[in-house]
Structure 1
Amino acid sequence: MASRGGDTAAGPSGLAPMRDWLLLGGAVSASAVVLWNASGQPLVAAGFVGGVAAIGAAIRLFLRPAQAESSPEFALPDWSVTNAAIEQSNDGIAITDRAGRLVCANALMSNWFGLSAVPPRLPLDREAVDALEAATRAAWRDGTATAEPLVSSNGTWRAEVRRAGRGEDFLIWRFMPVATQDLVAEIVGQIGGKLGRALAREGIQAAVVSPEGIVLSANPAFVQRATGNGSADVVGADFVSFLASDETERVYYAREGRKGASIRLVHLPVADPDGVANVDPARTTSLFLLIDEQGSVGEVRAGLPQIEALLARLPLGLAMTDRDGRFLFANAAFLRAAGHDDTIPPPYPSDLVIKEDKGALSDAVRRYAQGIPMAGDVAVRLRATPEEPVSLSLAGVRGLGEGAVLLSLKDSSEETRLKREIAQATKMQAVGQLAGGVAHDFNNVLTAIIGYCDLMLMRHTPGDSDYDDIQQVKANSNRAASLTRQLLAFSRQQTLRPQVLQLPDVVAEVSALLKRLIGEKITLEVTHDRDLGFVRADPTQLEQVLLNLVVNARDAINDKLAAPGAKGSGVVKLMTRRVTAADVRSMKSEILPIGDYTALIVEDNGHGIKPGQIGKIFEPFFTTKEKGKGTGLGLSTVYGIVKQSGGFIFAESEVDRFTRFSIYLPVHVPDAAEIAHARRPAHEAKREWAGGGRVLLVEDEDTVRAVAERALTRQGYEVTTAADGEEGLEAIGRDGDFDLVVSDVVMPTMDGPAMAREIRALRPSMPFLFMSGYAEEQLRREIDIPNMHFLAKPFSVQQICEAVEQVLRAR
């Protein structure tokens, strides 16, 4: 039955069994025979059989079942397999979906960032998290992205993120640790290890010395020569204690004395050649190579290939030439510092410098190669960076075969930059002193003009023929006074009236004016942070700062919109921000001291400032505007006001995108007296003055003295005048019964502060009202006495009368 069953199942058609086919064939054959006998025609019988066969074939084709088409099936994702695969990596790997959920991660991710950490929200600093979020957006948009460096207390990483999956619905994160190199530890280990022993075989003694002069590591050759015992421990000993010198400055080992061979010290600072240039030598670990000037003790093989192989491993820029000045070798660090792209040095060191320095460098190399062993530096300009001179150190050596001069290259571009900055600062200081002196003298002239205008206006009423002319003279004098205030602000000698205030209040006071200044086509956006700290500044000067910055922003936006094909609209943003000490620390600024600040930010979307100009914008008389459209004093005035207020200002810009000025003012904590003064009712702050008084007026400018005398006399004061400090002292000596001394600060023979000290010795309670075009704070630093008041020049008749009245009222 098993065999039968197999026959029945055979065949793809699955129709009748074999016996049915035999019965059907027999029936057809019998019918054909009967038809042949009946008709006697064999063709008729054959046609019958063929017809039956065709009909059977058609029926079989029709009844054959269609084969099912196979279709591939995709297996559902098995994340356990993915987990097993990513565990083989040495990097931290994580997979997140489009919703930002963690799909899987390997063990390194958990060890580094914790079990619940999901990229980009990882326990890193703020800048790193921002970089990861930016990389997330870029990966969803572009397919791949990177972010570095990612810093935390546990280390530093570099991240790569890639979009993947059938629907590209997943992000694959790969975090790779960034190893930091400890150059000092590496050099200490090399000199104390195989490299040090290899140097010893060539007769070169080597020691690594800390900035304090303590030996950190030494090779056996140095230990043997310095102590006489090759197995002695010299780590922690004073390096110079092993050395001595004679009157000719030749250096010996102290143990050997003059009987031993003199040695040549080659000093190499251990500093990264690709790092910060010109590290202070006094705070840098040093590698000293000590070479015998008359050959070393013991057998020395002075083969240059060995020396080249040894020095090539050091991360310091070293090269060697023969007596003819040809390069024998140069390590990779030297060629990199010299800006030479090829791994093979040129024939001569002079081939690395510009044409003007070739002769000086060739002469120096020949001099060190043929003279007595010595060392020195020569300043050259490399062909790779012809604008920045560098210092090339040369040392004549002996006992190294063909080697005659050892060269060490260090970058001095930082030193050159600092020199330029110091020269610029000196120039700016001189210009500031000149501007302050001119403004002071000009203020005396303006005081007289404004004062006489006030006196003339007392005799003329509106409608008189001369009234309008006098008003025009006074108005133009006030414009000139505004210019002198700009000069004083630039030179930081302006008189400030600091108050404890909130920056949003200052912005609110000036917002309406700013909207009228920028016009209807530019939008002014104002935003404030919460919990802003108090600042101590002059609100009037802060308003001047805002006016200058917003006017510059308006001009930049209008210039951009006026360009052909320009689109978009102009926006000026005024923002106040709360900046904590932690925020300042994360900024890693070398200029801004760590502390709490309140920041005032002015930003526009104008044409921006070119990178080559942004470092000069605060210089006086420098302007990016067209000729006749800018004085160049606006930003220098802003800088002077901010610095005089104890703040800091920074500028950022990107051409055709934005310009941002950030002003940081230190948070001021008001004391009880300041709070009480702020809360004092207005009617207590001002009371009517009920009497005159005797005033001693000391002023060396005749016109200023005459105006002040007439103004005070008209107010009912009895005024005695003096032309300088000595005359003022004489007036006090004759009749010291004065209620107030009104004096200029800068006077010939005896100035105001010197006279004040002499008068206070005679009249300790005498009040003083000083008049000056210089800053009040500068005066207080020169003379710090109680009951001293200040009146800034230029002043009007009304201002000097009110100032005298306030002082006498307070008394």
Structure 2
Amino acid sequence: MATAAFDSVTPRQRGRLGGWPGAAALAVAVASAALVFWVLGDPLIACVFLAGLVGAGAILIARGSAAPLIFEADAADGIDVALLRAALDASSAGVAITGAAGDMIAANHCYVGWFGGDTAPQTISAEGAGEALMSHAPGIARRDGSATLPGLRFGDVTLDVTVEPVGLGGSYLLWRFTRADDIDLVRDAGRLVTGEGGRRLGEAGLMAALVDGEGRVIGANAAFAARATGQVDGDAAGKSLVEMLFGGEDGGLRFVSEGRAAPPLHLIQIPLTDAVETPSFFVMLDDPSGGFGRLGKEESASVNALVDFLPLGLALANVDGRFVYMNKAFRRAAGLARDELPAYPGDLVVDIDKAALSDSVRRLARGPATSSSISLRLRARPEESVPVTIAGVRGLGEAAVILALKDSSEEDKLKHQVAQATKMQAVGQLAGGVAHDFNNILTAIIGHCDLMLMRHTPGDSDYDDIQQVRSNSNRAAGLTRQLLAFSRQQTLRPQVLQLPDVISEVSTLLKRLMGETVQLQVKHGRNLGSVRADPGQLEQVVVNLAVNARDAMPGGGTLTIQTYAMPSDEVRKLGYEFLPIGDYTALKVIDTGTGIPANVLPKIFEPFFTTKEVGKGTGLGLSTVYGIVKQSGGFIFADSEEDVGTSFTIYLPVNRAEPAPTRVKRAESAGELWGTGTVLLVEDEAMVRAVAERALTRHGYTVFTAENGEAALEILARGDQIDLMISDVVMPTMDGPTTVREARKSHPDLPILFISGYAEEQLRKSIDLERVAFLSKPFSIQRLAEAARDALAQK
């Protein structure tokens, strides 16, 4: 039975039990049990094994002896080998049984742990002559009855090996591996320092190295190698320990790679034998009393006070990663409250970044004095990442790591302002394009209204309707001017003027706008410098701010308009980063209204942003004010407190070039608009071209029309006398300026009047030509006639 079980585990080997006498089968079972008892020396296990074999044999014999029973390898392994392996596992030594061909029959857990379950004993690689002894051991055991191989080295373990033939006829070999009695301290210490034990020592802040009798490093943990070589992945094996250390003036030992500024080291030497030149086990750690650790309380307080003045956020952590100090800038950059005291750096960041920060702190605290940078998200500002610099330090007493965190609040503010400016510029470009197309449409509507009014007189049934259409069109034209003002693309006619003159001219209108519940107060300062701005646009600024103030005081209140001088010394005291130092004249509008909430205040200059009800505000009032002020070279600031009021302050630079002239309005006479001559009208929009042609014709001009620049040049090439060219600026194929340049080649003295839905400021570079005039759309028939008359007068 046992023979069949052992034979069955060889590939496709079979053994027959059919025809065996019961006595013979029993004898085989008893022999197998005796083998187990001889191996383990335990009678209980041998009896259990014998009972299992007898039971299995009884079942097989009961099936009948007439038919032979064949055991396949898998079946035998499932019955006998499993029982044998369970029995072998009771031994603390490594035990294996091999067959006649050297194939593995069974092995216990100890053997599998050392060599693996598929490795036959005679094929195990041993050091030195042990490999040859292992290969010859089976022959010696069969010849002499046993073979003993003491003190063979298998990798990191030394074992005694015995081999004995067992089973019927000695066809099987029993291999027993037991640990040698001698202990190799050098070998074990080397395995400790370079393996898992050395890694754990390094995490605890201990540097460990095994040094031979000549002072050369046999092995070291990563913490020692990194500090001694100055490289994170350095290798200290084979180097002289004495050459890696030097003695300082204070008697302390330091690593050569870290220099004299490094902290001294505590060294603990453990000799491994009693010999003179014996290998030694060294354990090293930093001396916490080095560097700043020896400072008194007063000196430490002075150093901390000095670091507190630095604008860079600095914090110190010990080798365990616990904070020992942080300056004010670090607390401010980390968003910590005044009474908040975090214990670890990981307490400052979001949960997902805690592991990365802790690993970096632990690695740099126990490694060389190097640094690294990592991007983390602070718990106080989880929406964006901030860079944190972490460096290992030595000589700062208890501190092992320094963390540097930049206060990016001002930088974030600048980024927000740049993003806001970019957004405003993009919306401004869109507003300019919309205004251009809208102005073409309004030009046609206003022009046709003017033509119809020429045929109707007050009192006609259609006169009032036409006037209403024209009035609404002019309101729409005002809306486009607001869009252009917001985008800083409106045409300004700057003059040198005094702000009190502007306030004086608009004050009458303001009194009507404010009503009876709002009191208007005007205060002017002395020695006001003149400013250079468009008076009409400044009036619009004042009116817009006054109307907003009125709406903020539904129950009544006081609106105060102040003008005062702001010399450069006062500007410097304000501390505004975006207000250049210089002399300004200030205009301040103050109300006693409901105020603007803090979360709304940063958005008030954005286009189409309004807190008013639907139908009561377009959201372009303050954006228009902002655009006019910025295009005039000025600056505007808003301050507000809820339930107290709001103030807008405008700073316009003082003009030093020329004094402010007296504003004189030119009298206009309708009789002066009649003209003579030939006009070449170039306009790609058919509706605008038709209106302009009819308007010029009604005022006495002969008009040739062209839908593009190429057609205009063909008309000029015919040789007709052309007294004035009126051209759109932006046209397909050939734009207006290009057409004019080509026309000036044959007609160098030809007067030019440009018309465009874009503002002159936006087109200033493209229309940089001599002797040209500009008329912005939408325009009335009267304005077109005036512009044509003025352009011809310059001929």
TM-score range, shorter chain: 0.5 to 0.7
1:553-581 superposed Cα distances (whole Å, 9 cap, x missing partner): 111111xx2xxxxxxx5111122223333
Which runs of structure 2 are paired with 1:262-273 in the superposition (5 Å)? none
Q: Distance in 1 between matches of 2:792 and 2:451?
A: 23
Give the structure with higher Rg (CA): 2
Q: Distance in 1 between matches of 2:287 and 2:611?
A: 62
SS in 2 for 1:505: helix
Please tell me whether residue 799 in structure 1 is matched to residue 792 in structure 2: no
Q: Distance in 1 between matches of 2:575 and 2:340?
A: 40
Please tell me whether residue 439 in structure 1 is matched to residue 410 in structure 2: no
Q: Paired residue for 1:659, among 643, 646, 659?
A: 646
Task: Give the AA of the match of 1:702.
Answer: A
Task: Give the AA of the match of 1:580.
Answer: P
Task: Give the AA of the match of 2:591.
Answer: D
Q: Quick one: structure 1 residues 606 and 453, their matched pair in 2 at CA, closer, same or farther if it must change by over 3 Å?
A: same
Q: Quick one: structure 1 residues 706 and 331, their matched pair in 2 at CA, closer, same or farther if it must change by over 3 Å?
A: closer
Please tell me whether residue 637 in structure 1 is matched to residue 624 in structure 2: yes
- Contact 1:319–1:334 under 8 Å retained in 2: no
Shifted more, 647-656 versus 427-436: the winner is 647-656
Q: In the alignment, which residue of structure 1 is the partner of 2:683? A: 699
- Contact 2:674–2:700 under 8 Å retained in 1: no
Q: In the alignment, which residue of structure 1 is the partner of 2:415? A: 419
Q: In the alignment, which residue of structure 1 is the partner of 2:358? A: 362
Please tell me whether residue 759 in structure 1 is matched to residue 740 in structure 2: no
Q: In the alignment, which residue of structure 2 is the partner of 1:549? A: 545
1:376-412 superposed Cα distances (whole Å, 9 cap, x missing partner): 3223343456567543102356899998754323322
SS in 2 for 1:304: coil
Please tell me whether residue 584 in structure 1 is matched to residue 571 in structure 2: yes
Q: In the alignment, which residue of structure 2 is the partner of 1:714? A: 698
1:549 positional shift = 0.9
1:647 positional shift = 1.7
SS in 1 for 2:552: helix
Q: In the alignment, which residue of structure 1 is the partner of 2:371? A: 375
Q: Distance in 1 between matches of 2:372 and 2:669?
A: 72
Q: Quick one: structure 1 residues 492 and 326, their matched pair in 2 at CA, closer, same or farther if it must change by over 3 Å?
A: same
Q: Distance in 1 between matches of 2:439 and 2:674?
A: 32
Shifted more, 537-546 versus 728-737: the winner is 728-737
Q: Distance in 1 between matches of 2:415 and 2:427?
A: 18
Please tell me whether residue 784 in structure 1 is matched to residue 768 in structure 2: yes
Please tell me whether residue 595 in structure 1 is matched to residue 615 in structure 2: no
Q: In the alignment, which residue of structure 2 is the partner of 1:327? A: 322
Q: Distance in 1 between matches of 2:682 and 2:693?
A: 10
Task: Give the AA of the match of 1:300.
Answer: P
Q: Quick one: structure 1 residues 545 and 373, their matched pair in 2 at CA, closer, same or farther if it must change by over 3 Å?
A: same
Which runs of structure 2 are paired with 1:39-54 in the superposition (5 Å)? none
Task: Give the AA of the match of 2:475.
Answer: R
Q: Paired residue for 1:749, among 733, 752, 755?
A: 733
Which runs of structure 2 are paired with 1:302-313 in the superposition (5 Å)? 302-307=286-291, 309=293, 313=303
Task: Give the AA of the match of 1:777.
Answer: E
Q: Distance in 2 between matches of 1:344 and 1:608?
A: 34
- Contact 1:389–1:416 under 8 Å retained in 2: no
Q: Distance in 2 between matches of 1:345 and 1:683?
A: 76
1:580-617 superposed Cα distances (whole Å, 9 cap, x missing partner): 33333343432222333322221111112222322221
Structure 1's unaligned 5+ residue stretches are 1-247, 251-259, 263-290, 562-568
- Contact 2:316–2:400 under 8 Å retained in 1: no
- Contact 1:388–1:416 under 8 Å retained in 2: no
Q: Distance in 2 between matches of 1:610 and 1:540?
A: 31
- Contact 1:292–1:398 under 8 Å retained in 2: no
Please tell me whether residue 296 in structure 1 is matched to residue 264 in structure 2: no
Number of aligned positions between the proteins: 513
Q: In the alignment, which residue of structure 1 is the partner of 2:349? A: 353
SS in 2 for 1:433: helix
Please tell me whether residue 624 in structure 1 is matched to residue 583 in structure 2: no
1:306 positional shift = 3.0
Task: Give the AA of the match of 1:607.
Answer: T
Which runs of structure 2 are paired with 1:165-564 in the superposition (5 Å)? 294-296=257-259, 300-301=264-265, 302-307=286-291, 309=293, 313=303, 315=307, 317-320=314-317, 322=319, 326-327=321-322, 329-332=324-327, 336-337=331-332, 338=334, 348-365=344-361, 375-383=371-379, 390-395=386-391, 405-558=401-554, 561=555
Q: Distance in 2 between matches of 1:653 and 1:666?
A: 24
- Contact 1:689–1:809 under 8 Å retained in 2: no
Task: Give the AA of the match of 1:768.
Answer: I
1:518 positional shift = 0.8
Q: Paired residue for 1:573, among 556, 560, 565?
A: 560
Q: Distance in 2 between matches of 1:392 and 1:425?
A: 29
- Contact 1:454–1:797 under 8 Å retained in 2: yes
C-alpha RMSD over aligned residues: 3.7
Please tell me whether residue 809 in structure 1 is matched to residue 793 in structure 2: yes
SS in 2 for 1:391: strand
- Contact 2:751–2:771 under 8 Å retained in 1: yes
Q: Quick one: structure 1 residues 261 and 759, their matched pair in 2 at CA, closer, same or farther if it must change by over 3 Å?
A: farther
1:760 positional shift = 3.3
Shifted more, 590-599 versus 342-351: the winner is 342-351
1:707 positional shift = 0.9
1:430 positional shift = 0.8
- Contact 2:321–2:361 under 8 Å retained in 1: no
SS in 1 for 2:490: coil
Q: In the alignment, which residue of structure 2 is the partner of 1:614? A: 601
Q: Distance in 1 between matches of 2:338 and 2:465?
A: 78
Q: In the alignment, which residue of structure 2 is the partner of 1:771? A: 755
Q: Quick one: structure 1 residues 781 and 299, their matched pair in 2 at CA, closer, same or farther if it must change by over 3 Å?
A: closer
- Contact 2:258–2:369 under 8 Å retained in 1: no
Q: Quick one: structure 1 residues 335 and 418, their matched pair in 2 at CA, closer, same or farther if it must change by over 3 Å?
A: closer
Task: Give the AA of the match of 2:421.
Answer: A
Q: In the alignment, which residue of structure 1 is the partner of 2:715? A: 731
Q: Quick one: structure 1 residues 754 and 355, their matched pair in 2 at CA, closer, same or farther if it must change by over 3 Å?
A: same
Task: Give the AA of the match of 1:650.
Answer: F
Task: Give the AA of the match of 2:557.
Answer: G
With normalisation by structure 1, the TM-score equals 0.57
Q: Percent identity?
A: 59
1:619 positional shift = 1.1
SS in 2 for 1:306: coil
1:767 positional shift = 2.1
Q: Distance in 1 between matches of 2:353 and 2:232?
A: 31
SS in 1 for 2:480: helix
Task: Give the AA of the match of 2:785.
Answer: C
Q: Distance in 2 between matches of 1:329 and 1:751?
A: 71
1:182-234 superposed Cα distances (whole Å, 9 cap, x missing partner): xxxxxxxxxxxxxxxxxxxxxxxxxxxxxxxxxxxxxxxxxxxxxxxxxxxxx
Q: In the alignment, which residue of structure 2 is the partner of 1:236? A: none
